Structure 1
Amino acid sequence: MVEKAPAPERPEPIVEVNNLSKIYGGERRLFGAPSALLKAVNNISFDIAAGETLGLVGESGSGKSTTGRVLLQLEAPTSGDIIFRSKNITGLSKRMLRPYRRDMQIIFQDPYSSLNPRMTVGDFVGEPLDVHGVCTGGPERLDRVAALFRKVGLDPAFMKRYPHEFSGGQRQRVSIARAIALNPAFIVADEPITALDVSIQAQIVNLFQDLQDELGLTYLFIAHDLSMVRFLCHRVAVMLRGRIVEMGPCEAIFEDPQHPYTRALLSSIPIPDPDIESTRRPLTFDVSANLPPDDAVLEPVGDGHLVMRG
């Protein structure tokens, strides 16, 4: 794999999240008590600098994907503020959000379910160009889509094919081509390699790195695979039950984890040595007995390294 680009000097953040929460439930029923509340995202704050990749990690159900969807206003937050390029976009209507959609895109976990099976992949990639009126005519659109295919490593001759004619890795490349069609500044990558074979995962991660170097992209990279996070990301935020319990530079998180949940996650990374792996015992973490109190906050423990105590 290509070497990770050095972390950029931290300019003004392109994305800021302040005290963001997303709570489901509480709806009144016809009979009985209101439904139970689920704090999927619970009062989290972070920022991402231009050209930076922030990795968001945690077990299933920790709130990672919900954070990504709320950040792009695909779901409305319950409370908190989302600042994009110094503008508060929280609660904007669909019409007012439209100009920001060009600059903020998402890549989903399952490339097959995110593609329209009735559309050719060329039309799928070109659809954002039509919606935002980027191209003036058919030939220009065709050239733009062909260039996008080449940029993600696909033959433009495939543009007239349908999603079922592609492998998982090729379908994810199609999804990436659509995501970059409008030259966005910020992309949420929601576990984009989880559904792929290991060898293909490395290729897709390399593609993310190449596109970042070429286009100056900023990523929120949501993932389970911590080894890929270490390779690609400049900073890491660790989520537990809707809260960020540790955050900091990638090497600080991996070399000197402070929260017991982070240490347990890192201990689960497989070691490619059968002799070591057969005797190694990952650390355990009792979530129910170690949830941080509601008033717990992130405290500095190093240069840009924050941990939640309690």
Structure 2
Amino acid sequence: MNESLSANCQSLVSVNRLCKTYGGVKRFFGATTPPLKAVNNVSFDIAPGETLGLVGESGSGKSTTGRVLLQLEQPTSGEISFKGNNITGLSKPMLKPYRRDMQIIFQDPYASLNPRMAVGEFVGEPLDVHGLAGSRSEREGRVAALFRKVGLDPAFMKRFPHEFSGGQRQRVNIARAIALNPAFIVADEPITALDVSIQAQIVNLFQDLQDELGLTYLFIAHDLSMIRYLCHRVAVMLRGRIVEIGPCEAIFENPQHPYTRALLSAIPVPDPDIERDRHPISFDVNANLPPEAAILRSVDEGHFVLEA
């Protein structure tokens, strides 16, 4: 791993040349579509207590990167290290101890829940799987504490998912994610499906939990304003590759890659006079795909851009 790509060489998570390729799909008459490189030679580190934002258009490989990092899908090649241990390709029994320390929050708060399971049972399930609740009363007490921590009334524990709003459902998912006191959470577009007013509440909850529990996040999102508010560093993905990575302010104030500049120019301005005269930068993805041999080069301290 190139440690210079990290804000802190004492990394909690380290990803080195990660690749995920999906095989060609057979069509009629024996024809096969070409393999898809969803994640292509991706490397980054995340320091303890840091939030790394991962941004890019739909289909850029953000969610696949998060899923492969947690071994929900096996990488085609590359190495994933957690707390200095290589966890790439571990069997399920060998990976189980790491599951306690690595959790994920998905985009759709309703699809993430079991509609036939009371939310209290859902949040308490990880405690049963890892044998962390000695008795039913202890389990219920711990689940009630988790509900209070994420801003939910413990009286709601016996309710079912359909009885909650979208924001409340996502709070339930967050409660489950922190039930095992993890060190690292992949938040896969956790606010995209929520109302704008609720998004700010959930982002503030992420910050509060990070301060209180010392959490480390990989925060995947489309909303660049939220990324700027929440993240310490930002990585920009294009067609499976990181084209720029660096401190949040450096990316927003001094973007180097044309794709990064195009993304930032698309952020709406809440002023109709300014918005009327603003012209977003165009970027033809197909005409500007980075060559396979391109590497990240340093443009400033901790700020890297993929060579054109």
Fold equivalence (TM over 0.5) = yes
Partner residue of 1:287 out of 285, 288, 291 = 285
Deviation at 1:35, TM superposition (A): 3.6
Matched, 1:44 2:75: no
**Match in the other structure for 1:265:** 263
**Match in the other structure for 2:189:** 191
CA deviation string 1:172-198 (max 9, x = no partner): 000000000000000000000000000
The residue type paired with residue 180 of structure 2 is L
**Match in the other structure for 2:152:** 154
For structure 1, which runs of at least 5 residues remain unmatched after alignment?
1-7
Partner residue of 2:224 out of 223, 226, 237 = 226
CA deviation string 1:237-260 (max 9, x = no partner): 000000000000000000000000
Partner residue of 2:102 out of 84, 104, 119 = 104
**Match in the other structure for 1:236:** 234
Question: How many angstroms apart in 2 are the aligned matches of 1:34 and 1:282?
Answer: 38
Matched, 1:18 2:16: yes
**Match in the other structure for 2:3:** none
Structure 1 contact 237–247 (Cα < 8 Å) conserved: yes
Structure 2 contact 7–302 (Cα < 8 Å) conserved: no
Question: How many angstroms apart in 1 are the aligned matches of 2:297 and 2:34?
Answer: 31
For structure 2, which runs of at least 5 residues remain unmatched after alignment?
1-5
Deviation at 1:34, TM superposition (A): 3.9
Question: How many angstroms apart in 2 are the aligned matches of 1:16 and 1:305?
Answer: 17
Q: TM-score, normalised by structure 1?
A: 0.96
Question: How many angstroms apart in 2 are the aligned matches of 1:140 and 1:282?
Answer: 55
Task: Give the secondary structure class of the aligned counterpart of 2:291.
Answer: coil
Question: How many angstroms apart in 1 are the aligned matches of 2:278 and 2:8?
Answer: 38
Structure 2 contact 18–39 (Cα < 8 Å) conserved: yes
**Match in the other structure for 1:255:** 253
Question: How many angstroms apart in 1 are the aligned matches of 2:224 and 2:103?
Answer: 23
Structure 1 contact 11–50 (Cα < 8 Å) conserved: no
Residues paired across the two proteins, number: 303
**Match in the other structure for 1:136:** 134
Question: How many angstroms apart in 1 are the aligned matches of 2:250 and 2:153?
Answer: 40
Structure 1 contact 247–307 (Cα < 8 Å) conserved: yes
Question: How many angstroms apart in 2 are the aligned matches of 1:200 and 1:108?
Answer: 16
Note closer, same or farther for the CA distance 1:164–1:192 as it changes in structure 2 (3 Å cut).
same
Question: Greater CA deviation, 25-34 or 132-141?
Answer: 25-34
Question: How many angstroms apart in 2 are the aligned matches of 1:10 and 1:80?
Answer: 21
CA deviation string 1:122-148 (max 9, x = no partner): 000000000000000011000000000
Partner residue of 1:210 out of 186, 208, 211 = 208
Q: TM-score, normalised by structure 2?
A: 0.96
Deviation at 1:10, TM superposition (A): 2.7
CA deviation string 1:52-105 (max 9, x = no partner): 000000000000000000000000000000000110000001111000000000
Q: How does 1:2-81 map to 2 (within 5 A)?
A: 10=8, 12-26=10-24, 32-81=30-79
Task: Give the secondary structure class of the aligned counterpart of 2:186.
Answer: strand
Question: How many angstroms apart in 1 are the aligned matches of 2:133 and 2:9?
Answer: 33
CA deviation string 1:97-124 (max 9, x = no partner): 0000000000000000000000000000
Question: How many angstroms apart in 1 are the aligned matches of 2:97 and 2:29?
Answer: 43
The residue type paired with residue 139 of structure 2 is R
Task: Give the secondary structure class of the aligned counterpart of 1:201.
Answer: helix
Deviation at 1:30, TM superposition (A): 9.8
Deviation at 1:31, TM superposition (A): 5.7
Task: State the superposition RMSD in angstroms.
Answer: 1.4
Question: How many angstroms apart in 2 are the aligned matches of 1:284 and 1:90?
Answer: 38
Task: Give the secondary structure class of the aligned counterpart of 1:17.
Answer: strand
The residue type paired with residue 226 of structure 1 is L
Runs of 4+ in 1 over 3 A off after TM superposition: 26-31
Question: Greater CA deviation, 33-42 or 252-261?
Answer: 33-42
